[in-house]
């Protein structure tokens, strides 16, 4: 059986990391980087790959393991060494910021990553940023970065659905495409992008909607474009505020308040709301049914939480559409906020940032319309 070089490299890494046997060192050293004059290579854009873990750095026991593997195993230098084609599009340097599965991301991790991105984009010798990330919370992190990092330089988030050790692994092409997009002048000023499955998507609009399959990231508003063989094909532009046009700035943020999510379902009881308030939540995102509906028995507990100073945001557990203000609930009367088209987990991100700078409910509502 033959493997593409990237898979071979990661398989060797996986085997070595698992301690099964010594990895053939030649696989890591192997390179097909083109013979390019040093001056021509130096003229290429400089893209920094910030690695945080996830499946794109995952490794399974065999090539047949497309879904059973350990995330966050392969270090960034091995990922980059396995893809010498990167040198065709940019000068790429890597930094290991985190090495975790993204379901374990914390607010502190968000702050660490965003501050590093912010510092790098200020460097004149950096043209673009790629962030390798687990797919589970990739869209949340992307939205956070789009709200807090001030830059025109492209920031491309990328992950994979299959570990590099698997047959038909998607990580290598996703990473090459991400670097190619981050190196592109025509990707400037478009906010934080997600480059997976040949699509170029806005991190704000896009979510992990399909698990297992490689077409994991979808947006009800559509992709911005596609990247094919190193060229970007654009079809739309983001209209919501982001990056340079954002009123949030990671350079001024040191702490994020506790904001939690309550999920609605048949026979839901107030227990979760009451426990979260007792635990110090500053805001509760209510992931309601339908158009953000709230069960009759939940209205009073949410009003009681609000009376204690907890901001209530009405979102929906339904992935598509958007929540209308004063429709399913009299939001003006309750002084509740609606999350517009933001999924509950992304509504949490915006609400944390808003509360961190003392926004009241009117201001938070304005932010949900604008971002």
Binding site for ligand ASP (CB under 6 A): 54-55, 71, 101-103, 134-136, 159, 161
Among the listed residues 52, 55, 206, 351, the single catalytic one is 55
CB of 54 to ligand ASP, least distance (A): 3
Please calculate the CA angle 352-307-277 and round it to the nearest 5 degrees: 55
Report in angstroms how near the CB of residue 56 gets to ligand ASP at its nearest: 7
User: Residue 165 catalytic?
Assistant: no
Give min distance, CB of 224 to ligand ASP, in A. Answer: 22
Q: To 10 degrees, what angle do helices 344-356 and 138-148 make? A: 30
Angle at 201 between CA 95 and CA 346, to 5 degrees: 80
> Cβ-closest residue to ligand ASP?
134
CB of 41 to ligand ASP, least distance (A): 31
Task: Extract the tokens encoding 318.
Answer: 């339904």
d(CA 156, CA 199): 11
Q: Which is nearer to ligand ASP, 53 or 238 (CB)?
A: 53
**Nearest Cα to Cα of residue 262 among 314, 310, 206, 337:** 314
> Would you say 160 or 232 has its CB closer to ligand ASP?
160
| Backbone dihedral angles phi then psi of residue 28, each to the nearest 5 degrees | -70, -35
Q: How far is the CB of 318 from ligand ASP (least distance, A)?
A: 23
Cβ proximity to ligand ASP: between 172 and 298 the closer is: 172
- We find the least distance from the C-beta atom of residue 57 to ligand ASP, in angstroms, to be 8
Contact 244, 150 (CB under 8 A): yes
Sheet holding 283-288, edge to edge: 259-263, 283-288, 311-316, 337-338
CB-nearer residue toward ligand ASP: 41 or 112: 112
- CA 270 → CA 122, 278, 286, 337, 351, distances in Å? 47, 12, 12, 19, 21
Q: DSSP letters along 186-247, please?
A: GGTTS-EEEEETTEEEETTT-EE--SSSS--EE-TT--SEEEETTEEEE-----S--GGG-S
Which are the catalytic amino acids? 55
């Amino acid at each position: 059986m033959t493997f593409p070089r990237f898979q071979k490299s990661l398989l060797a890494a996986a085997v070595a990391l698992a301690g099964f046997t010594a990895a053939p060192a030649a696989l890591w050293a192997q390179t097909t980087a083109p013979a390019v004059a040093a001056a021509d290579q130096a003229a290429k854009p400089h893209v920094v790959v910030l690695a945080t873990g996830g499946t794109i750095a995952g490794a399974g026991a065999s090539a047949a393991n497309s879904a059973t593997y350990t995330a966050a195993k392969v270090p960034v230098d091995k990922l980059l060494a396995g893809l010498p084609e990167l040198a065709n599009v940019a000068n790429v340097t890597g930094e290991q910021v985190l090495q975790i599965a993204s379901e374990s991301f914390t607010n502190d991790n968000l702050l660490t990553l965003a501050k590093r991105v912010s510092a790098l984009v200020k460097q004149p010798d950096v043209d673009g940023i790629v962030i390798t990330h687990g797919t589970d919370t990739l869209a949340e992190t992307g939205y956070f970065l789009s709200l807090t990092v001030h830059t025109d330089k492209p920031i491309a988030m990328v992950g994979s659905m299959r570990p590099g050790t698997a047959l038909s692994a998607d990580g290598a092409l996703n990473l090459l495409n991400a670097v190619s997009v981050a190196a592109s002048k025509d990707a400037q000023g478009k906010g934080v992008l997600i480059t997976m499955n040949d699509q170029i998507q806005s991190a704000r609009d896009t979510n992990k909607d399909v698990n297992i399959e490689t077409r994991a990231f979808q947006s009800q508003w559509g992709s911005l474009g596609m990247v094919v063989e190193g060229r970007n094909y654009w079809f739309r532009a983001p209209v919501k505020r982001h990056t340079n046009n954002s009123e949030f700035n990671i350079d001024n943020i040191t702490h994020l308040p506790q904001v939690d999510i309550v999920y609605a379902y048949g026979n839901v009881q107030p227990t979760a709301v009451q426990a979260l308030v007792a635990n110090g939540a500053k805001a509760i995102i209510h992931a309601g049914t339908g158009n953000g509906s709230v069960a009759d028995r939940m209205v009073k507990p949410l009003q009681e939480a609000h009376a204690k100073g907890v901001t209530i945001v009405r979102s929906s557990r339904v992935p598509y559409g958007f929540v209308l203000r004063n429709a399913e609930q009299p939001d003006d009367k309750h002084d509740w906020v609606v999350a517009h088209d933001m999924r509950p987990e992304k509504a949490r991100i915006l609400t944390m940032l808003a509360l961190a700078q003392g926004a009241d409910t009117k201001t938070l509502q304005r932010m949900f319309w604008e971002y």
